[in-house]
Structures are given as structure tokens and as C-alpha cells.
Amino acid sequence: MKRRGFVRPPLSRRQVLKSVGAAGALLAERPGCAASPLRVAGQEIEIQIAPVSAITVRLTVLPIREGKLGTVPEDGALARKAWSPPAARWRGEERVRPIQAGDLIVTLTADPLTLAVETGEGRPVQRITIDKESATLSFPSGDAPLLGLGAGGPQFDRRGSTDRMRSGQGGYRLRTHGGRVPVPWLIGTAGWAMFIHQPSGTFDFTAPEFRFQPADPAAALPLDIFLVASLEPAAIMAEYARLTGHPEMPPLWSLGYQQSHRTLASREEVLAEAKTFREKRLPCDAMIYLGTGFCPSGWNVANGSFGWNRRVFPDPKQVIDELHAQNFKVVLHHVILARDLRGTVRDSCDVSRFDEEQAACHWDAHRKTFALGVDGWWPDEGDPLNIPARLVRNRMYWEGPQMDRPNQRPYALHRNGYAGMQRYASFLWSGDVHSTWETLKTHIPVAINTGLTGIPYWGTDIGGFVPTKELTGELYVRWFQFGAFNPLFRSHGRTWKLRLPWGWNTGDLGPNEITSYGDAANPDPSELHNSDVEPICRKYLELRYRMMPYLYSAVRESCRTGMPLIRALWLHYPGDPAAVARGDQYLWGRDLLVAPVVEKGATTRRLYLPAGDWYDFWTNERIAGGREITRPVDLATMPLYVRAGAVLPSGPVKQFTAEETDEPLTVTVYPGAGGACTVYEDDGISFNYRRGEWSGIRFDWNDRAGSLAVRLAEGSRRLPASRPIDLRVAPQMESRRLVFDGRPREIRLKP
């Protein structure tokens, strides 16, 4: 017990560790032994310390009301309902007590109420102080960038900002930063991360002590915090996946190009646009049709309706069949008007009283339309939904389609979500942004922080949703190049015919759709005869499809490990301060560095190459890293660099992802370091991969020996009798054919 006037001398580290086991046991057995109970926000509390893993500890502050211990409410964010039991419980103002949780040591003090966490080796991780009056948390800022916090919001490095964590398109500067999907997952790039599971609140990162203030003082408790300690970024991302769930595999076609349509003139126009893609041999996998209400003439008759607009779709099943015959998937936009959503699609629905707030009833309304052959959904709106309801909606569009197509991976493009949405393979787009250069520039750090928050399938309206005078062929091309290296590769926006790859050289704006926006403007008519746009769009469409083996393998890695597709340089170069601080470029998977051009009229692009050698993707020039360089650019060029040591798989150009071809897989080695890759393949449609029906070919490059080892990946069970593979080595790029039959091979590629 604490004695007035007595100061205990500080314990040595050896004494602290020696006392940990006994202290933890004492706290667990005698939670109420203190002379005076602890109080936070006017309530008696119990603090619980629980191990989650060797490097993650859960710190929970529960209220005690009328002698009963409170619980942490379920909101759907966590991947599990039950975790490890507490290693220690604390209710009284006692002396310092070190507690072991996994490999971490937690020290509690009562005045001020503080939980200090360090590693078993003595490295301080974080010190969280809880204000007893308001339940406000504070913790040291440190001097390293702070990343994460979901989609949208202020700048790349969150330090220096204040964030109310408001969800939706009114969350923070929609025009440039997009809709806000706030997730209280903070990554301290110095070696820690924190997920504040409960409650919601405001972050203030403007002072040396960061603060988190609960939104409602009356509901400030419980506090539920998961703290991760690791100097390895991959371990931090893996822990977030452990907490909120691993991503699910989407259908392969969803990674191809998706063309969105708005105001539709007729059935003939719908089919003509699809036919033009195939005639021009511009790769495309999906056609998306907006709903009426958001435009004068969409696929349905009104917002939230499943009645077809018969002027445009007089025979819906036949039109869908015709699109399928041309190898297009069909995605329909739908608006949820309910302000709440609960339950699951498996619950019973009272057909006599339609309850739109019940997921089962709401999904039931989709099923007749879905049965016509619709391939995916674009659920819009939902800003008023609270956290549990947002996740109910994400879950509904994952589990609902499986009721009728149990072995087919669903697709849904969402505007809202939260931590855990990745468990439902949810795609997310950035909302109704404006067509400006500033918007394009801002979306690079937005993309990076979204990926760091465990949301792997993200994209934006290529060209921006609301046209302005800044929308030119040049801006569209630069946005299209960026979109080709987003997980969601989709063009959409008002004045929608300019979102077609050939739309900038027709002289036709299409339907005028800017009247409802006071600051919107159509492009200058002189921009509508730009013959440069379509060839450049073709170049990046074809590049996207050639890179599909690399991308799909990275998607599988994301589902296994929690690593995003768009990666902050911090994830692979945590010891390089210049790389960690860089928010205007990113890694696409492990090996490809992407530096979008975001300045009007740019003829050069400054970018940073981390340590090691790099190869210019376009010229194969080898360049030393660890420095900033200036890369000349023309309109057709977005700088791309490949890491020395990369083993980069690619394929032939396809018109759609499922197109069959006899052309070989190409594997290019970029020498200068050792490296490896696993090319992952499955049928791209079903869940059969969960039963082992997938193939993986592992390539290991020995740079010193100049040899490439090829073998089946561990667990791979599905492989054709033989597989032609063209092997190349940069910079010469001379091709050598290997026919791989599953038996391990080692090929010498350099003398």
C-alpha cells in the first residue's frame, strides 16, 4: 500500500524483472486491495492488462457501476470476441507494479494515472497517461513521423494536426482529401503502434504530448487500447491484421480496369460503349452503372429502387447476358437510405413488415436483381451510419451474395467503413473529389495511409468526380497513370464521357452534369480534340494487365500477412529517415517504386530512391539509391523504378483478366542483390484456393552466383503439366525459355 511521506528508491532493471511474476499474480488475485479506489471520469474503475501476443498488450479501463464491472461493447471491428484473460487487474492507488504481458513490461502508477510500456530488453515503447477527470489520454509525440488513421484527413505525417475523426464526406476537406474513413490506428514509425478500440474521440497532435479526447465525456469509459511494440514494420502490420482481421481475396476481375457510366441515353449506348472497348482493344473487365437520382437516367428508376429504368434497360437480363458475352462484368450502383443497419443476412426477415434497417431484409431486396446475373455492387451513401452499422453493411455485401453463389467471391465498392472492413474484401473509393491538381497530389499520401490502416483495396475517381476548369487531358492522363497503380483502377465522374479512354478526342462533352455544383465547370472546348490521351491510356491499361501476375501475387501476400499493396517506404526502409518521411511516392508491392507526376506542365519529377541500386523501369538504366534524383518526364511517362534484387513476374496483354492465352509468363531479374518472389495463381473466381487448389512458383535469385532457382511454392497443389516461362535479366533483357514441370530447377543466367 502507498504510505504518505514514503518514497521508495527506484528499482534496478534486474529487480523489476524479478518481481514481475509475483506482482502480476498479486494483482490478479487481489484486485481491490487498495485503501482508496481509482476513479476516472467520476466512476470507479478497474484497469486490466492482457497479453495479445508477444509484442501486443491490451490496456483496458472498465467502469464499476453499482458493484458490477463493465464490459467493452462489441462494434464489429475486432476479429475475435474473446482474447487472452488479463494478466493483471488493478483497482487501487497502489505502488508501482511491473506486469509482464507477452514480452512486454507494463508499469502502472496512480498519480498521475500512467501506464508505461517497455520491451523485455528495456526499450521504452510508450507512456500513456489518463486524465482522471476527463479520461483524456496523452502520450509523448517523439520525433518520428506518425502515420495511419484511416482514409482521408490531414497530411501524410499526422503530427501537427488535429483530427475529430468524423466519418463521411463531411469529415475533412472533401474537395481535395476525399471522404473520411477514420480508424484510430496510429503507427509511430519509431517502433510502436496503437489501436484505440474504444471510445471514439478527437486526436490532437499539435503539442509535445499528443492527446486523445473521448467525444462524449459521459461515455468516456470503457477505454480499450491495443499497444504494439516492434521495430519491424511487417510485424506491426501483422499485429493489426491479428486484431482486426486479414483481408479476403477479391475476384481477379476486380483488379482489372472498371469503367463507370453515369447518365445513360439508351440501351444502344450501353452496349455501344462496351463494344468500343473491344473494337479498340482497350483492356477492361467491368462496366459500372450509376443509379437514377444521382443522375437523370441511370440503371434504376430512383434512389434505393430495384426497379429497372426500362428506357435504358428494357430487357435487363438480355443486356446483362450480352455484356457477359463480351466478357464484361456488370456492377450496379445502389443507395442505402436507412440511417441504421443491424444483424446479418442470415437472420430471419419478416416479409410482412419490411425493415430496411435489418440486414437480412435489406439484402433480400437485392436478390431478385442479383439473380439476373449482376456481378457486383456499388453501395453509396451511408455517412450517418455509426461504426457497427458501417461494418454491418460491409459484411452484408460480402455474405449476402454468397447465399446464392456460395463458391463465388463477391465484389462491392464502398464509400464508408471502419477497422475490420478488410475481412469482407471491401473496396473503398475516396468519394466525390474535385478535378484539380491539388486533389491528385493530396491523394498520394491518402492512399499510403489508407493502406497502412489495413484497407488494401482502395482507389479514386480517375479524373476527379466534380469537373473544374483544371480538368484537362493532361490532368486526366496523370490521374490515369496514378490509377493504374491503385488497387481499384476505375474511372468515374460527372461529364462522364470524358472518363472514357477515347473521350478526349470526340469533341463531345456528353450530358452536362455540373449544374448542381456551384464551383464546377466543364473543360474548355479546346480540350476536346486531344489525340494524345487515348494512346497514353492504352499504354497504362496494357501495363496494368501485363503486371497482373505481380499484382495478384501481392494481393495474396496481403491476405496472408496484412501488408498493403500501396506501401509506405517506411515498411521496407524503416532505418532511412528520408524514406520514412516521404509521402509523395510509394512502393507497389515489395519491388516497384511509383512516383506519380502531380504538377501541371511538369517536365521533371524529383523523387527519392532508398539505399541500394534501382533500375528505371522504362529504360533499364541502373541507378545508385540513397539519394534524391530528378527524372525527366514527358506526358506519357510516370517514373517507375525496380529494386535491384527484384524478381518481377509479368504476363501478356489481355483484354480482360480471364482471357485465355498460350503466351508465357515472363520473369525479369534485376541484378545487384539477392531476391525472390512467389507467383501465385488460382481460378480467380471461387474459394477453392482455401482447399489447396492454387499454384505457386517460387523464384530465388542468387546474385553472387548469377543463378535462378525455380520450384513449386510450399503448399502448391495445382499446376498445369508444363508451364512456359521466359526468363530475362536486366538491363540486356535477352529472353531464355524455361518449360517448368514442377520439378526444382536452377538456371544460370549470368556468367
Domain assignment of residue 658, yes or no: no
pLDDT (0 to 100) of residue 93: 65
pLDDT (0 to 100) of residue 32: 43
Residues 437 and 393 in one domain: yes
Residues 512 and 605 in one domain: no
- Where residue 96 falls among pLDDT bands split at 50, 70, 90? low
pLDDT (0 to 100) of residue 94: 62
Domain range enclosing 595: 565-642
Domain stop point among 231, 264, 286: 231
Residues 600 and 684 in one domain: no
Domain assignment of residue 468, yes or no: yes
Q: Is 405 helix (H, G, I), strand (E, B) or coil?
A: coil
What's the total number of domains in the chain?
A: 4
CA distance 575 to 570: 8
CA distance 281 to 541: 10
Mean pLDDT of the chain: 93
Average pLDDT, stretch 563-588?
A: 98
Q: What are phi and psi of 668, to 5 degrees?
A: -110, 125
Q: Which CATH number fits the domain that encloses residue 185?
A: 2.60.40.1760
The number of residues in the chain equals 751
CA distance 236 to 226: 12
**Could you read off the pLDDT of 607-652 as tens digits, one per residue?**
999 999 999 999 999 999 999 999 999 999 999 999 999 999 999 9
pLDDT (0 to 100) of residue 742: 92
Domain assignment of residue 316, yes or no: yes
Residues 599 and 720 in one domain: no
Top-confidence residue, 502 or 94: 502
* Strand 586-588 relative to strand 592-594, pairing: antiparallel
Domain assignment of residue 303, yes or no: yes
232: left (phi over 0), alpha (psi -120 to 50) or beta: beta
Domain assignment of residue 654, yes or no: no
Residues 258 and 218 in one domain: no
**Could you read off the pLDDT of 501-550 as tens digits, one per residue?**
999 999 998 888 887 777 899 998 999 999 999 999 999 999 999 999 99
Q: Which CATH number fits the domain that encloses residue 583?
A: 2.60.40.1180
Angle at CA of residue 27, ends 21 and 33, nearest 5°: 145
Beta bridge partners of 99: 106
CA distance 294 to 41: 45
pLDDT (0 to 100) of residue 338: 86
CA distance 307 to 369: 9
Q: Is the peptide bond before 112 cis (omega within 30 degrees of 0)?
A: yes
Closest to 48 in 3D by CA, of 83, 78, 8, 19: 83
Q: Tell me if 679 sits within 8 A of 727, measured CB to CB.
A: no
Residues 373 and 503 in one domain: yes
Residues 507 and 611 in one domain: no
Residues 183 and 324 in one domain: no
> How many of the other CB atoms lie within 10 Å of CB of 296?
11
Domain stop point among 608, 642, 676: 642
Residues above pLDDT 90, as percent of the chain: 88
pLDDT (0 to 100) of residue 1: 37
**Could you read off the pLDDT of 35-90 as tens digits, one per residue?**
588 999 999 999 999 999 999 999 999 999 999 999 999 999 999 999 999 999 99
Domain assignment of residue 530, yes or no: no
Going by the DSSP 8-state scheme, the letter that residue 503 receives in this structure is G
Domain assignment of residue 527, yes or no: no
Residues 275 and 404 in one domain: yes
Strands in 336-394 per DSSP E: 376-380
Residues 41 and 150 in one domain: yes
Domain assignment of residue 215, yes or no: yes
Residues 266 and 415 in one domain: yes
Distances in whole angstroms, Cα of residue 129 to Cα of each of 75, 110, 209: 25, 10, 10
Domain stop point among 486, 517, 548: 517
Residues 258 and 216 in one domain: no
